[in-house]
Amino acid sequence: MAGRIAVIGSCMIDLVTYVTRMPEAGETLVAPSFEMGFGGKGANQAVACARLGSEVMMLAKVGDDDFGANTLRNFAAEGIDCRFVERVSGVSSGVAPIFVEPDGQNRILIVTGANDRLLPADIDRAAAALSGSALILLQLEVPLETVYHAIAWAKRHEIPVLLNPAPANPALALEHLREARFFVPNQSELSLLTGLPTDTAEAAAAAARTLLAAGLASVIVTLGGEGALWVSGDETRLIPPLAVTAVDTTGAGDAFIGGFAHHYVETGDIDAALIAASRYAAQSITARGTQRSFPSATAFAAFCAQIPASPPA
């Protein structure tokens, strides 16, 4: 199994401030440093797949500002097919002010800008290019009607979909999610969708099971420092985390999804893809930045080679 991965999603410019702590209301604080980089959940997942060696195409909208022009240059430099990344005049590109605390935890605001202009008609226009895809990746930083249209389009063309319901959106309707092959929320997204607690792995597994009962095919819950859960059919499995020192967790979920998508499309082996995804995300949090922290295939292979083999069961 191998083939092209298509990402239908967002692009942002990440404006990352590293803080010693968040200011109180009315307080002004000096922060130690600032970095700007390429982000957006769609673009991040596309870049992770491409860095690992996948053939990737991106469908997105950017503004007619410098951020939009630079985003297009970045996709080209990463070897991503960006024929369907269009510039919209009179609208800003998406931007994301991000604050990272000393323990690596992040807080993110998004201004969606041109991402709001990615519409169902854009998918129809790109249909010929999309139709050869082995997997389509979707997130929720573009309009929901576009996400629903993409899922329905992919079903008609028998292309599996991975939907990452991020950021959490209370308007997300379960009825549209049944056709997704993989549904990949984090704990808070899963809790919002199910109305159930998800603060432990057991609680998250129980919440994910309610989605299977409602007709979803399989759920992968990312648990941050606790690893990830695979919930499908009768199976519930914890993919344990890799112990690393977190420097910056921004984009770790996107690294996980890119790592999973690349390895799944390359091998068809879900178990191996989950382990690789967890390792790729772990390596990404050991460095600053979003896409900047995503390792190349060579750097990832070197990282994996240092992981001690687990003792035989």
Q: Which residues bind ligand RIB (CB under 6 A)?
A: 12, 14, 39-41, 44, 96, 108, 110, 141, 250-251, 253-254, 290
Q: Cβ of residue 300: shortest distance to ligand RIB, in angstroms?
A: 19
> Is 116 marked active-site?
no
Q: Which is nearer to ligand RIB, 81 or 248 (CB)?
A: 248
Q: Which strands sit side by side in the sheet containing 81-88, from one edge to the other?
A: 81-88, 56-63, 4-8, 133-138, 161-163, 182-183, 218-222, 228-232, 235-239
Q: How far is the CB of 290 from ligand RIB (least distance, A)?
A: 4
How many Å apart are CA 7 and CA 204, to the nearest integer? 27
- Residues with Cβ < 8 Å from 303, sequence gap 6 or more? 279, 283, 295
Least spacing, CB of residue 13 vs ligand RIB, in Å: 8
User: Which residue number is nearest to ligand RIB in terms of Cβ?
Assistant: 39
CB count in 10 Å sphere of residue 89: 9
Q: Supply the minimum distance, in Å, between the C-beta of residue 267 and ligand RIB.
A: 25
Joined together, the tokens standing for residue 111 give: 């201004």
- Contact between 111 and 67 (Cβ < 8 Å): no
Helix or strand (DSSP H, E) at 232: strand 228-232
Looking at the Cβ atoms of 153 and 260, the one nearer to ligand RIB is: 260
State the helix-helix crossing angle for 41-52 and 270-284, rounded to 10 degrees: 110
CA–CA gap between residue 273 and residue 213 (Å, rounded)? 25
Helices (H), the chain: 41-52, 66-77, 120-125, 127-130, 144-156, 187-194, 201-213, 252-267, 270-284, 297-305
Nearest approach, Cβ of residue 209 and ligand RIB (Å): 26
Residue with smaller CB distance to ligand RIB, 110 or 123:
110
CA 123 to mean position of chain CA atoms: 19
- Of the pair 104, 153, the CB lying nearest ligand RIB is at 104
Of the candidates 257, 275, 273, the one whose C-alpha atom is nearest the C-alpha of residue 265 is 273
Cβ at position 247, least distance to ligand RIB in Å: 15
Nearer of residues 15 and 203 to ligand RIB, judged by Cβ? 15
The distance of closest approach from Cβ of residue 98 to ligand RIB in the complex, given in angstroms and rounded to an integer, is 6
Nearer to ligand RIB, 251 or 295 (CB): 251
Closest CA to 180 of 212, 204, 132: 212
Catalytic, out of 14, 122, 248, 254: 254
Token pair, residue 60, equals: 């997105």
Nearer to ligand RIB, 194 or 293 (CB): 293
**Phi (first) and psi of residue 237, to 5 degrees:** -135, 135
What is the bridge-based pairing of β-strands 133-138 and 4-8?
Answer: parallel
Catalytic positions are: 254
